[in-house]
Each structure stands twice: as C-alpha cells, then as structure tokens.
Amino acid sequence: MPCILKLPPTICLSKLKILVLKGVSFSDEHSTQKLFSGFPVLEELCLDDCRWMNLKVVSICAPKLSSLMIQDPYKKRWSDSDNCQVTILGVSLESFYYTGEFFNEYSLHKLALLVEAYINVCGSRTRPRLVANRMYTLLIGFSNAKEIMLTSFAVEALRYAAELLPHMPMFNNLLDLDFIDGSINLDSIALLKILQESPNLKTLEFSEGVSLSTDCEKVDSILDPVPPCFLSQLKCIKVGYYNGDEKELSAVKILLKNAVALDRIVISFSKNFAAYLEKRGKQAYAVEPERATFERYKPRSTASTLFSFAVRISMLHQSKISAFYGI
C-alpha cells in the first residue's frame, strides 16, 4: 500500500547524496516542493511507484543531481489525482530513466551534461494522444544526450502526435541510439525523424529486431531522404533476435544499402533461427571475402543461444545480402 508522506515545516538534508523513495504518495504541494528543493548535494534520486496525489505542479531542483530514475506506478485507469506537471532542472544530470504510462507530465530543462537517457512507455492504447504529447515533451529534454534508449512502445506512441514530429529537436551530441523491448518497424515515421535529426550518430542498435510494417508498400523510399548520419558518421548497426523472415531481411537490406559509411554490422539470431541454421549445417559464411568478412563468436547467453556476426563492409549490393543469410 502507498505511504502518504507527512513532512515537517522545515526540510534541509544538507549531506544526503542518495535518496530512494518507494511507494510514497505526495499529498501536499507546498511541503513536497520544499522537499525537492532541499538537497544541495544529492547525486542520485529514485522515485519508484510514487504518486503525486492531486498535486498540480512540482519542481525537482538539486544542483548536484547526476542520476534520476522515475518508475511510475502501474495503474488500470486514469484518476482525478493524476495530471501533475513535474519539472526537472538538471544542470548536473548525466543519466535519466523513465518507465511508466505518462499519467503525469515530465519535462527536463538545462541538461547540458546528459549522457544517457531511457524511456519505457508501458501502455498507450487508452490515451494515445495524451501519451504522445507527453512523450514528445520528455524527448525534447534529451537534445544534448549522447546515448538514447527507447522502447518500441515509446516510438510507437509518437505516431499519435504526428504534427509535432516536424518540430523534433536536433540531437547533435547523440552517438548511440538503441531501440529495445520489442521489434521496431524501420518505416516508423517517428524513428525516421529521430534519425534525420541525429547527424553525428555512430551506432544504431535494434536490440530485439527490426522489420517493416504490414502495410508498408514503398520500400525503396523508406530512407528517402537518407539521414545525414548514414552518409558520413554511422559506423555500426546491431540487429538482435533476427528470425529470417522476408520483412526483416528487407529492413536489413535497406539499412545496408543506405549506410554508406558503415564499417560493421552485428546480427544476433533468435534461438529458433539459430537452430534452423544449425540443422542446415551453416557454420560459416563468406560473401566476396576481399570485400566483406563474417566472424563467428561464442553465444552471448547459454539461456538463449544467439549467434553474432561482425561484418566489415565496404559496400554490399542487395543481391549479395541474401547469400549471407543462406536464403
């Protein structure tokens, strides 16, 4: 059960560096604001399963805060106590993690030092438009991040606010972009816009696979125009849980065709596809050895046997990619 936090009139925790609050309900706006303004040396803050009960506005301001993790409570429905606007002033913030359903609005400001940012949207089907707007508001604060991790649900949510995508900020410092917790469609308008605004991206990772949507028709124009990073900066693409179906292969072909500066692609096969290849006796692959080499590595995990291949590429034509997969 949530614990309603009752605070004294005066709060000053002048030496506190790490604070973890779990299952706490904040019910008074004035005392809550004083609490989150009274941490002069706080470095790590975790808000796990906390509720902003009937609070309208809260600011989190800790000048030394370097790590902030927010995991909103799981809720079956919207309630009148939701809809708090939480503003985070993070002049020293280096890592930010959010997991939740955006029952409240979070915005980030003055994050010049941000290194790592993570958003996991747990659900958006009942309030897609509101979730999309709040997702976008949070994403704006990541403009200086060097590494961004987004779940497939987070990217999917943005399509419900398509009119905001043209105003997506530039991610000039972004070097690593990782899509996790589910396969993502390469033709996603939100994904394509993020890529367009990430000119210095070095590594692009689809941790649980990349494919095309079922209604995708114009395959040849998916990366048209080609994101600037594909032409000069993008050096590594990683694709996980590859199953070998036609849409996955098409997505990989599109990536290889357009990423002209690419040095390496790492593909991890799903357990089922790896077993299929083993049955066919495919132990090693080579496509024009003088132009591309494929190296076999040990499985990453004994629990889910994956095969990883590092591919150094000068240029692969689409007709040659299918040979790599033995198709």
The per-residue pLDDT for range 93-105, each reduced to its tens digit, is: 999 999 999 999 9
Q: What is the predicted pLDDT for the residue at 201?
A: 98
pLDDT of residue 57 exceeding 90, the answer is yes
pLDDT of residue 90 exceeding 90, the answer is no
pLDDT of residue 30 exceeding 90, the answer is no
Given its phi and psi angles, is residue 86 left (phi above 0), alpha (psi -120 to 50 degrees) or beta?
beta
The C-alpha atoms of residue 71 and residue 186 are separated, in whole angstroms, by: 28
Nearest by Cα to 234 from 189, 265, 267: 265
Least confident of 177-191, 248-262, 281-295: 281-295
Mean pLDDT across 260-289: 68
Q: What is the predicted pLDDT for the residue at 125?
A: 67
Given its phi and psi angles, is residue 116 left (phi above 0), alpha (psi -120 to 50 degrees) or beta?
beta
Q: What is the predicted pLDDT for the residue at 272?
A: 81
More confident call, 122 vs 223: 223
Q: What is the predicted pLDDT for the residue at 63?
A: 93
The C-alpha atoms of residue 39 and residue 252 are separated, in whole angstroms, by: 48
Band (236; pLDDT cuts 50, 70, 90): very high
Nearest by Cα to 221 from 257, 262, 248: 257
Q: What is the predicted pLDDT for the residue at 243?
A: 86
Nearest by Cα to 133 from 110, 163, 174, 109: 163
Cα angle: 107, vertex 17, 9; to 5 degrees: 75
Q: What is the predicted pLDDT for the residue at 268?
A: 85
The answer to whether 298 and 269 have CB atoms below 8 angstroms apart is no
Q: Is 132 helix (H, G, I), strand (E, B) or coil?
A: helix
Mean pLDDT across 28-39: 88
Do the bridges between strand 184-185 and strand 147-151 make them parallel or antiparallel, or are there none, so unpaired? unpaired
More confident call, 120 vs 216: 120
Q: Where are the domains of the chain?
A: 3-275
Q: Residue type at 221?
A: S
More confident call, 323 vs 208: 208
Q: What is the predicted pLDDT for the residue at 303?
A: 24
